[in-house]
Amino acid sequence: MDELRKNGKEIGLAVIIVGDNPASRIYVNNKKKACEYIGIRSEEFALPESTTEEELKSLVEKLNNDDTIDGILVQLPLPKHINEETVINTISVKKDVDAFHPVNVGKIMIGDYDFLPCTPAGVMELIKESGIDVDGKNCVVVGRSNIVGKPQAMLLLHKNGTVTICHSKTKDLAEVTKNADILVAAVGVPEMITGDMVKEGAVVIDVGMNRLPDKKLVGDVKFEECEKKAAAITPVPGGVGPMTIAMLMKNTVKAATLK
């Protein structure tokens, strides 16, 4: 980043938000704060709920051709009348700082990538910085979304983990999770992973972010129970969330560097 600054290059990130989803608004504000903190210029495009798919695609195409924009982020979820896949496919592969475009997904699969999806990349950074070796470990990922579960499994596999992906059809989930040396919960169900599902001394990473009826924010892991057994565990909030934003900043700087 210092090198880019020396050459007088300003880094630009375009953030598009459609509608007024409260959680999306919080995420977008946090991303903007991070940009401000490290010196990236962020441009927000807040569009009404009634925006059509064609209007959104037209904006993305305009940003694809804008040389002052290095990265484009479309905040998900989008309103139901807009096809998310179509919009993601419209983003230039070189500006896809969320790494959701099929070309970037394919590059992750073969291990030759420019960008990594921000949340799985943040999880890997936490593992690395904590001095945890993935090599040969039993790694269990609960959740198979395209945004977290699948790429998370692939990144653990690239580090020589033996990876199991669990989902809603997995039989006897607890038997699988109890064998995990590294357990990543990314299923979106409040406090689904309980203490009796965790192996003594396991590394437990909670990607979940759920709001209870009493407004309390919790993850997919029952923290108080699992903390007693885990060698290391991430809290919610304050664990994976900040790492996700840090990885977005890293991807945006990389996009500018590659350009």
Which residue numbers are catalytic?
A: 31, 75, 98
User: Reduced to 3 states, what is the DSSP secondary structure of residue 193?
Assistant: strand
- Chain centre distance of CA 177: 22
User: Reduced to 3 states, what is the DSSP secondary structure of residue 140?
Assistant: strand
Residues shown for the chain: 259
Distance in angstroms (rounded) separating the CA atoms of residues 138 and 161: 6
Distance in angstroms (rounded) separating the CA atoms of residues 74 and 98: 9
> 187: phi > 0 → left, psi -120 to 50 → alpha, else beta; which?
alpha
